[in-house]
């Protein structure tokens, strides 16, 4: 018997609390378009799957998954695995390879690479949100 992770007690529990938070804090309104930042890690994929599952009282919204590859490792294999996962689950997505990591760690920016890396990644995510017509952004 093959049980989907969406049929587990843990998933249903998380979904219940996510739905409660969305309603209590009015995080999503009817017609919103949400950009979901997806790193490929367990937290962001769980958020993606939770927001994709039907919720009874949450207003209707659409979403797009977005991944920004920072360019630290050109042989990074997880990028392809993440893209395959998004395709297999019929998620609408944008995946973008950048050189932000190398730029942030370059000679001219030795003092604070994490700040620049984070700032440039966030800036790119906001630009994609605007291009895609997203009015909300969700991170796990």
CATH of residue 104: 3.40.50.620
pLDDT at 74: 72
Q: Whole-prediction pTM value?
A: 0.90
Number of domains in the chain: 1
- Taking only the tens place, the pLDDT of each residue in 96-129 is 999 888 877 778 777 888 888 899 999 999 999 9
Question: Would the pLDDT of 80 be above 60?
Answer: yes
b/e code 64-97 from CB counts within 10 Å (16+ = b):
bbbbbbbeeeeeeeebeebeebbeeeebebbbee
* Domain range for 26: 5-138
Confidence of residue 2 (pLDDT cuts 50, 70, 90): very low
């Amino acid at each position: 018997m093959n049980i989907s992770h969406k049929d587990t007690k843990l998933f249903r529990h998380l979904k219940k609390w996510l739905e409660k938070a969305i309603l209590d804090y009015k995080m999503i309104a009817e017609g919103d378009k949400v950009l979901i930042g997806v790193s490929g890690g367990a937290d962001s994929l769980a958020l993606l799957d939770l927001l994709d599952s039907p919720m009874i009282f949450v207003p209707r919204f659409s979403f797009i998954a977005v991944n920004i590859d920072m360019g630290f490792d050109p042989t990074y294999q997880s990028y392809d695995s993440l893209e395959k996962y998004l395709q297999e689950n019929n998620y609408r997505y944008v995946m973008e390879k950048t050189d932000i990591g190398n730029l942030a760690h370059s000679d001219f920016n030795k003092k604070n690479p994490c700040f620049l890396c984070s700032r440039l990644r966030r800036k790119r995510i906001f630009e994609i949100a605007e291009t895609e017509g997203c009015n909300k952004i969700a991170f796990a």
